[in-house]
């Protein structure tokens, strides 16, 4: 998960407690033999998965440098009998579990990079790589993927189709997924559906997601004019023009990070205020001058990609009707990135499988679109293959364990590894069987 606002992260930690119902029981009423097999196998390998996770945690590697991690993953997948491809888009690894029978092709993705961090870790298996820490929980995401691979490999005889396990480097800088795709990932494998999960601050046993857009989309708009003696007026005019794109009032609850977790207006409320918005980061409006040009750049967030589609023509139109029409050179996006989009049908179906097998009370449906600079470059995979991104709870509030990614006190209750392997193995089995 990518985020660049620590203050909001911290505030959100506290507020998510409000809608993160405590449910550590994981009581299930599974009667289907294959899902009982999954639970039994997960239980058997759980201790070994905890060891693997702690090994990753002790030896974190920053984005683009995941050499040791990828070697460990490769060995593990090979030991399960999977076909393994390495060195994709950097240290990317793909494990292929082919059942030898015709059927669906499902991909599961995990990210594996750690982050630069000097904040002391709270666990007694803290990082031995000075200044690097798994503070976003990718060690756990990776371990869960290995666990699912193990469980699936054990069930191979009972399954049809193919399962791909994608281990992605460099998620934090939002570059690793794209690098794997550019390096030919989808010429190597051809999944029909793709899924992935990320540790989040709800209680363990809880998962959450939503159909369609999950995070705000972010782009930088760049307006360039001829450099002239009208520069000051042009800058003032452009700033006003850009400010008008914002549709949330400066003094509204939208700006209070606590609102994200508020039960009446927050993300999990059907009456959420985070559904239809565009906002301008005033601190990130930049003016640059060259010999011939003056450019105004603004970083903008919006609840939907569609809102950006109309933005450029609208701005051009307005400028062409202004006294600066002749000075205008171009209106364009100078920065844009893929934004996560959960397939509507697959979200409903995959959550349906998990609800049926593990209890609907373990699912928090999000209604709002997160507006705090969060995102995940899983989005790039979804541009090629329909799929769903889940949040998996890692907090255990009574033990003081809060798994808010990037927060200084980030910790994970490792029982969430069991939850993740169970839920998502079962979900994949059901998807293959459809």
Residues that bind Zn ion (CB under 5 A): 1, 136, 405
3-state helix, strand and coil shares in percent for the chain, rounded to the nearest 5: 40, 25, 35
Is the distance from CB of 215 to CB of 369 less than 8 angstroms?
yes
Q: Which is nearer to Zn ion, 208 or 238 (CB)?
A: 208
Whole-number minimum distance, CB 372 to Zn ion, in Å?
A: 13
Q: Which is nearer to Zn ion, 161 or 301 (CB)?
A: 301
Q: Which is nearer to Zn ion, 136 or 216 (CB)?
A: 136
Whole-number minimum distance, CB 178 to Zn ion, in Å?
A: 16
Q: Which is nearer to Zn ion, 20 or 223 (CB)?
A: 20
Whole-number minimum distance, CB 405 to Zn ion, in Å?
A: 5
**Separation in Å, CA 179 to CA 55, 96, 343, 379, 389:** 26, 19, 23, 13, 19
Strands 387-395 and 193-203, by their bridges, are parallel
For residue 54, give the nearest of 131, 114, 125, 121 by alpha carbon: 125
Whole-number minimum distance, CB 374 to Zn ion, in Å?
A: 9
Q: Which is nearer to Zn ion, 387 or 405 (CB)?
A: 405
Handedness of CA 147, 149, 150, 154 (dihedral sign): positive
Q: What's the Rg (C-alpha) of the chain? A: 23
Whole-number minimum distance, CB 340 to Zn ion, in Å?
A: 12
With H, G, I as helix, E, B as strand and everything else as coil, classify residue 372.
Answer: coil
Give the helix/strand (H/E) hosting 232.
helix 231-243
Whole-number minimum distance, CB 171 to Zn ion, in Å?
A: 6
State how far Cα 141 lies from the chain centre. 11
Instruction: Decide: residue 349, CB within 10 A, 0-12 exposed, 13-18 middle, 19+ buried.
Output: middle
Q: Which is nearer to Zn ion, 136 or 207 (CB)?
A: 136
Whole-number minimum distance, CB 198 to Zn ion, in Å?
A: 6
What secondary structure does DSSP assign to 337-363, as a single string?
----EE-HHHHHHHHHHHHHHH-GGGE
Q: Which is nearer to Zn ion, 95 or 405 (CB)?
A: 405
């Amino acid at each position: 998960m990518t985020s660049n606002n620590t203050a909001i992260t911290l505030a959100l930690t506290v507020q998510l407690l409000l809608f993160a119902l405590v449910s550590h029981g994981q009581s299930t009423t599974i009667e289907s033999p294959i899902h009982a097999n999954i639970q039994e196998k997960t239980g058997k390998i759980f201790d070994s998965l905890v060891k693997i996770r702690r090994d990753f945690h002790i030896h974190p590697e920053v984005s683009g440098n995941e050499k040791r991690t990828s070697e460990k993953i490769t060995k593990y997948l090979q030991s399960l009998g999977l076909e393994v491809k390495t060195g994709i888009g950097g240290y990317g690894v793909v494990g292929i579990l082919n059942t030898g029978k015709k059927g669906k092709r499902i991909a599961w993705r995990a990210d594996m990079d750690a982050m630069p961090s000097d904040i002391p870790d709270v666990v007694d298996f803290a990082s031995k790589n000075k200044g690097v820490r798994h503070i976003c929980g990718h060690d756990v995401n990776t371990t869960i993927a290995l666990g699912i691979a193990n469980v699936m490999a054990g069930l191979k005889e009972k399954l049809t189709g193919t399962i791909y396990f994608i281990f992605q480097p460099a998620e934090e800088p939002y570059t690793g997924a794209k690098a794997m795709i550019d390096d030919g990932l989808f010429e190597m494998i051809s999944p029909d559906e793709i899924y992935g999960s990320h540790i989040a601050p709800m209680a363990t046993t809880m998962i959450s997601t939503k159909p369609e857009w999950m995070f705000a989309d972010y782009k930088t708009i760049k307006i360039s004019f001829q450099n002239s003696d009208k520069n000051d007026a042009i800058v003032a005019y452009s700033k006003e023009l850009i400010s008008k794109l914002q549709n949330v009032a400066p003094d509204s609850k939208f700006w209070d990070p606590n609102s994200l977790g508020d039960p009446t207006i927050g993300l999990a409320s059907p009456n959420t205020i985070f559904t239809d918005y565009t906002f301008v980061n005033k601190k990130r409006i930049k003016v640059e001058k060259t010999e011939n040009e003056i450019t105004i750049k603004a970083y903008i967030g919006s609840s939907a990609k569609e809102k950006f589609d109309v933005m450029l023509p609208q701005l051009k139109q307005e400028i062409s009707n202004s006294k600066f029409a002749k000075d205008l050179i171009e209106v364009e996006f100078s920065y844009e990135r893929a934004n996560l989009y959960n397939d509507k049908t697959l979200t409903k179906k995959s959550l349906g499988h998990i609800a049926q097998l593990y209890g609907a009370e373990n699912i928090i449906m999000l209604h709002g679109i997160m507006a705090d600079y969060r995102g995940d470059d899983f989005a790039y995979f979804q541009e090629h293959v329909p799929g769903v991104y889940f949040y998996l709870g890692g907090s255990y509030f009574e033990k003081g364990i809060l798994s808010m990614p990037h927060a200084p006190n980030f910790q994970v209750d490792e029982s969430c590894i069991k939850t993740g392997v169970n839920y998502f193995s079962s979900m994949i089995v059901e998807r293959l069987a459809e």
